[in-house]
């Protein structure tokens, strides 16, 4: 990247995340799953790493994935020294991810929908293949009434509710919360249609 290149929209977004609280969905799955005790978690689309830090703090060995080059430096700076040996970082685009390490918890906050539907389907297969027996999965997905669907169809993945539910076939659906409301995003006002999901694979 040249010195004059603009930071990507995601880098700009992530830079604004340092003061926010850890996301409730992440806290909820950490509470449900209990102390990590060295078990493995994945934070897919970790951004600045607020939730990666929370997982590490709860005792999880944590594999953080994002395509932003700055992720490594951000996480290295934010991670407490005593947690660093439990952190691994992978700089990769979701569309190119061939596999993920076996995991007891996969968290993905507001990240999975931001790829094309055909890539999402493959990525979801990679995510499901990583889940060990008894593993927890906590993700935000975008529904088909989200206002981004009007401009980003084919670029991002918007799921009708039955299709979103079907992703978790064979898992216990612990939480399936639907948000269908006007609100705000980093880019301004929008209509949110979100599925906030926690599911668990049987032991
Ligand atoms: C809305 S941010 C969410 C970040 C963080 N999980 C949070 O809750 O603040 C989306 C994240 O996904 C990453 N991302 C978006 N598309 C991606 C892709 N195709 N491959 C890998 N990472 C991607 C971005 O770099 C960004 O960090």
Residue 121: partners with Cβ closer than 8 Å, 6 or more residues away: none
23-200 folds as Rossmann fold (3.40.50)
Cβ-based burial of 202 (10 A; exposed 0-12, middle 13-18, buried ≥19): exposed
Residue 60 CA to ligand 1 centre (angstroms): 21
Looking at residue 5, its pLDDT comes to: 62
- Largest Cα–Cα separation, the chain: 52
Reduced to 3 states (helix: H, G, I; strand: E, B; else coil), residue 82 is helix
pLDDT of residue 187: 85
d(CA 30, CA 136): 9
Pocket test for ligand 1, best of 23, 114, 119, 196 (most atoms within 8 A of CB): 114
CA 133–ligand 1 middle distance (angstroms): 26
Q: What is the DSSP letter of 83?
A: G
pLDDT digits (tens), the chain, 203 positions = 344 466 688 999 999 998 999 999 999 999 999 999 999 999 999 999 999 999 999 999 999 999 999 999 999 999 999 999 999 999 999 999 999 999 999 999 999 999 999 999 999 999 999 999 999 999 999 999 999 999 998 999 999 999 999 999 999 999 999 999 999 998 899 999 999 999 999 99
The C-alpha atoms of residue 179 and residue 194 are separated, in whole angstroms, by 5
Task: Report the pocket of ligand 1 as residue ranges, CB < 6 Å.
Answer: 10, 13-14, 17, 23, 45-47, 66-68, 93-95, 109-111, 114-115
What confidence score (pLDDT) does residue 45 get? 98
- HSE value, Cβ hemisphere, 13 Å, CA-based, for 175: 20
| Pairing between β-strand 172-185 and β-strand 131-142 as defined by DSSP bridges | unpaired
- Mutate which of 23, 24, 27, 47 for ligand 1 pocket (most atoms within 8 A of beta carbon): 47
Residue 145 makes CB contacts below 8 A (sequence gap 6+) with 180, 191, 193
H/E stretch holding 50: helix 50-57
CB 194 within 8 A of CB 143: yes
Cβ-Cβ contacts under 8 Å for 73 (sequence gap 6 or more) = none
Give the residue from 22, 18, 53, 17 showing the smallest Cα distance to 36: 53
Q: What are the extents of the domains in the chain?
A: 23-200
- The reported pLDDT for the residue numbered 200 is 98
Rounded CA separation 29/16 (Å): 24
- For residue 40 the two structure tokens come to 């493995």
């Amino acid at each position: 990247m040249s010195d004059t290149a603009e930071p990507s929209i995601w880098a700009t977004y992530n830079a604004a995340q340092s003061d926010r609280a850890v996301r409730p969905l992440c806290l909820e799955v950490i509470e449900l799953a209990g102390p990590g005790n060295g078990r493995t978690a994945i934070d897919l689309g970790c951004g600045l790493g607020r939730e990666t830090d929370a997982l590490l703090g709860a005792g999880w060995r944590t594999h953080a994935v994002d395509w932003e080059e700055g992720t490594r430096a951000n996480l290295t700076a934010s991670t407490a020294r005593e947690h660093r040996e439990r952190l691994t970082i992978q700089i990769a685009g979701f569309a190119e991810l061939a596999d993920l390490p076996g995991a007891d918890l996969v968290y993905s906050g507001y990240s999975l929908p931001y790829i094309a539907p055909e890539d999402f389907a493959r990525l979801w297969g990679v995510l499901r293949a990583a889940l060990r027996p008894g593993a927890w999965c906590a993700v935000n997905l975008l529904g088909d009434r989200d206002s981004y669907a009007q401009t980003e169809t084919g670029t991002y993945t918007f799921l009708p509710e039955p299709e979103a539910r079907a992703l978790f076939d064979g898992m216990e659906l612990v939480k399936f919360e639907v948000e269908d409301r006007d609100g705000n995003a980093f880019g301004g006002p929008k209509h949110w249609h979100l599925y906030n999901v926690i599911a668990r694979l049987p032991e």
